[in-house]
């Protein structure tokens, strides 16, 4: 199997978001969980997205994991590797978007890297280096209260500079609107000035098509699904994709079994989706203090689900509003609280699968990573889209037999996301 495009995603929901975008734009795509065992038979595809869980780990660990994934993707034939980051640039000043971008550039022989989190379909646009989320500057959006990486600066040149060894440049919208040649000329000038990472503006998909065309001639880029769209469309235009169109239908053959939803995302969208789900399904709100105190809350949740799940889907959520999250963090620390709750929700997900759940929705990027790791799922085929950025996934090579999953990024999906997801998973 020789692939054209490789991607390293910093979390699992982000990986499925990107794989969905690549598939929708004509690339046959598989999502792996880490670098899979060589014995795993992967389907014949144009693109591979490696899911890593490195968004919130020390930058040196993220660099090491990304470097291994890059080597594997190059061995598969990838001429271009995209580092998939969050469309809301989720990271801290000690984050890894800068370090991984610089390391991937070094591995490819040096040179400048385009960086843009723009994803217009979900309202993420970048203008003069400032990220807007659905019309609000990043630092005024709900992301300012994220439990792990509160985003309090919308100026991405500044944010990335704080994480980077080298200076960070900007390609503004006027240059991008002038087309690929103007972008290349500006990149040449920035490269000469010793710049590695360049934040690129993008508001419309046509901006991302221009950036995708330019990026495809370079070995590495960093961005969210919008840049994936640009790269996929450029590959299709180049005539290098076989006419065997990407198909998602096979991925949703029924798997039967029980269904459940596990949520650890505290994003505004997820909190509202949980309120709406309460009208049609049993929802258990976990007590975060009790979750941190010991295993009793987990056991109680499994027992609660056991009494109800044969009658229909159940929802188990750790998710809480910013004030509650802040209180827990002030008592136990930000990372310790997040990690302990991810461990608890992943145990709950695995126990539910042990009791016959084969259709599972997980809300939250870190939460999904922890659950998929505990379930030891090696890879996913990409099914149809439930909502922008969230496809149905079918497991590949899963020890528990075929399952259907949806890994929902915290901020994605309409208010009825959970019922809409389960309606597509049989
Ligand atoms: N009640 C809570 N208090 C504190 N942290 C929580 C709570 N519920 C969940 N968390 C943690 O918040 C983080 C949410 O991150 P994530 O799962 O990536 O969601 P999102 O996709 O919304 O970013 C996880 O580390 C999760 O364990
Ligand atoms: O790019 C995006 O917004 C998503 O793909 C993503 O990475 C979101 O992260 P989580 O909200 O942590 O799932």
Q: How confident is the model at residue 245 (pLDDT cuts 50, 70, 90)?
A: low
| Phi, psi dihedral angles at 262 (to 5 degrees) | -125, 130
Q: How confident is the model at residue 271 (pLDDT cuts 50, 70, 90)?
A: very high
| Helix 225-237 vs helix 12-24: crossing angle, to nearest 10 | 30
Nearest to 54 by CA among 409, 423, 389, 369: 369
Q: Which of 46-50, 141-145, 165-169, 308-312 has the lowest mean pLDDT?
A: 141-145
Residue located via tokens 């495009």: 5
Average pLDDT over residues 165-175: 97
Which amino acids bring their CB within 6 angstroms of ligand 1?
147-148, 264-267, 270, 288, 318-320, 324-325, 328, 337-338, 341-342, 364-367, 409-410
Average pLDDT over residues 259-281: 97
More confident residue, 181 or 40: 181
Residue 340 CB: number of other CB atoms within 10 A?
18
The answer to whether 258 touches 121, Cβ cutoff 8 Å, is no
The ligand with the least distance to the CA atom of 367 is 1
Share of residues in the chain with pLDDT > 70 (%)? 99
Residue 290 has, within 13 A of its CA and on its CB side, a CA count of 10
CA of 41 to the centre of ligand 2 (A): 28
Task: Using alpha carbons, list the distances in angstroms from residue 8 to 33, 63, 136, 281, 338.
Answer: 10, 11, 28, 36, 23
- Cα 83 from Cα 49, distance rounded (Å): 10
Task: Using alpha carbons, list the distances in angstroms from residue 340 to 323, 344, 397.
Answer: 18, 6, 28
CA of 220 to the centre of ligand 1 (A): 30
Q: How confident is the model at residue 148 (pLDDT cuts 50, 70, 90)?
A: confident
Residue 51 pLDDT exceeds 70: yes
Q: Is the dihedral of CA 163, 164, 165, 168 positive or negative?
A: negative
Probe ligand 1: pick from 265, 297, 374, max atoms within 8 Å of CB? 265
The ligand with the least distance to the CA atom of 151 is 1
- Cα 233 from Cα 214, distance rounded (Å): 12
Chain CA centroid to CA 76, Å? 22
Rg, Å, the chain Cα set: 21
Average pLDDT over residues 257-276: 97
The answer to whether 62 touches 54, Cβ cutoff 8 Å, is yes
Average pLDDT over residues 55-81: 96
Average pLDDT over residues 372-377: 98
pLDDT reported for residue 379: 97
Give the pairing of strands 283-285 and 220-223.
Answer: unpaired
Probe ligand 1: pick from 92, 285, 341, max atoms within 8 Å of CB? 341
DSSP H helices in 40-198 = 59-76, 97-107, 156-163, 173-177, 180-192
Residue 167 pLDDT exceeds 70: yes
Which value, to the nearest 10 degrees, does the dihedral of the CA atoms of residues 398, 402, 406, 409 take? Answer: 10
Residue nearest to atom 3 of ligand 2 (CA): 87
DSSP H helices in 108-224 = 156-163, 173-177, 180-192, 205-216
- Is the predicted ipTM greater than 0.95, yes or no? yes
Mean pLDDT, the chain, rounded, equals: 95
Average pLDDT over residues 343-358: 98
The ligand with the least distance to the CA atom of 51 is 2
- Cα 41 from Cα 309, distance rounded (Å): 34
| Ligand 1 atom, smallest distance to 340 CA | 27
CA of 103 to the centre of ligand 2 (A): 22
Q: Is 11 in the pocket of ligand 2 (CB under 6 A)?
A: yes
- Cα 304 from Cα 43, distance rounded (Å): 39
Which pTM value belongs to this model? 0.95
- Cα 419 from Cα 275, distance rounded (Å): 12
Name all domains of the chain by residue range, CATH numbers in brackets: 5-238 (3.40.50.10840), 252-424 (3.40.980.20)
Angle at 162 between CA 160 and CA 167, to 5 degrees: 70
Residue 51 has, within 13 A of its CA and on its CB side, a CA count of 28
Chain CA centroid to CA 354, Å? 26
Residue 138 pLDDT exceeds 80: yes
Probe ligand 2: pick from 86, 132, 270, max atoms within 8 Å of CB? 86
pLDDT reported for residue 250: 81
- Cα 113 from Cα 62, distance rounded (Å): 18
Nearest to 87 by CA among 372, 389, 304, 363: 389
The answer to whether 51 touches 365, Cβ cutoff 8 Å, is no
Nearest to 156 by CA among 122, 184, 114, 188: 114
Share of residues in the chain with pLDDT > 90 (%)? 92
pLDDT reported for residue 149: 87
């Amino acid at each position: 199997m020789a692939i054209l495009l490789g991607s390293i995603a910093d979390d699992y929901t982000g990986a499925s978001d990107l794989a969905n975008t690549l598939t929708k734009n004509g690339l046959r795509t598989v999502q792996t969980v880490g670098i899979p065992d060589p014995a795993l038979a992967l389907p014949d595809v144009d693109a591979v997205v490696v899911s890593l869980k490195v968004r919130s780990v020390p930058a040196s660990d993220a660099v090491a994991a990304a470097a291994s994934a890059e080597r594997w993707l190059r061995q598969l034939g990838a001429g271009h590797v995209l580092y998939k980051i969050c469309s809301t640039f989720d990271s801290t000043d000690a984050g890894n978007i800068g370090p991984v971008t610089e390391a991937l550039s070094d591995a490819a022989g040096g040179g400048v890297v385009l960086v843009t989190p723009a994803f217009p379909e979900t309202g993420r646009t970048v203008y003069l280096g400032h990220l807007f989320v659905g019309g609000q500057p990043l630092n005024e959006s709900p992301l300012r209260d994220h439990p792990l990486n509160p985003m309090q600066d919308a100026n991405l040149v500044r944010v990335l500079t704080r994480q980077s060894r080298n200076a960070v440049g900007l390609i503004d919208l006027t240059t991008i609107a002038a087309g690929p040649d103007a972008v290349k000329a500006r990149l040449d000038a920035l490269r000469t000035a010793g710049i590695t990472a360049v934040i690129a503006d993008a508001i419309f998909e046509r901006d991302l098509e221009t950036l995708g065309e330019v990026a495809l001639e370079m070995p590495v880029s960093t961005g969210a699904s919008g840049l994936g769209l640009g790269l996929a469309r450029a590959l299709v235009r180049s005539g290098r994709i076989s006419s065997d169109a990407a198909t998602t239908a096979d991925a949703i053959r029924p798997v039967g079994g029980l269904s459940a939803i596990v949520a650890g995302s505290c994003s505004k969208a997820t909190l509202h989706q949980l309120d709406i789900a309460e009208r049609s399904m049993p929802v258990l709100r976990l007590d975060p203090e009790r979750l941190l105190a010991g295993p009793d809350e987990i056991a109680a949740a499994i027992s609660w689900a056991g009494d109800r799940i044969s009658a229909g889907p159940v929802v188990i959520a750790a998710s809480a509003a910013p004030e509650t999250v802040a209180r827990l963090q002030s008592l136990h620390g930000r990372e310790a609280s997040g990690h302990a709750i991810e461990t608890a929700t992943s145990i709950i997900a695995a126990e539910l699968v042990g009791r016959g759940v084969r259709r599972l929705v997980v809300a939250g990027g870190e939460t999904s990573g922890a659950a998929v790791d505990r379930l030891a799922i090696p890879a996913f085929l990409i099914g149809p889209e439930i909502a922008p950025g969230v496809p149905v996934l079918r497991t590949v090579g899963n020890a528990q037999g075929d399952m259907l999953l949806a890994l929902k990024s915290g901020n994605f999906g309409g208010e009825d996301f959970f019922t809409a997801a389960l309606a597509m998973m049989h």
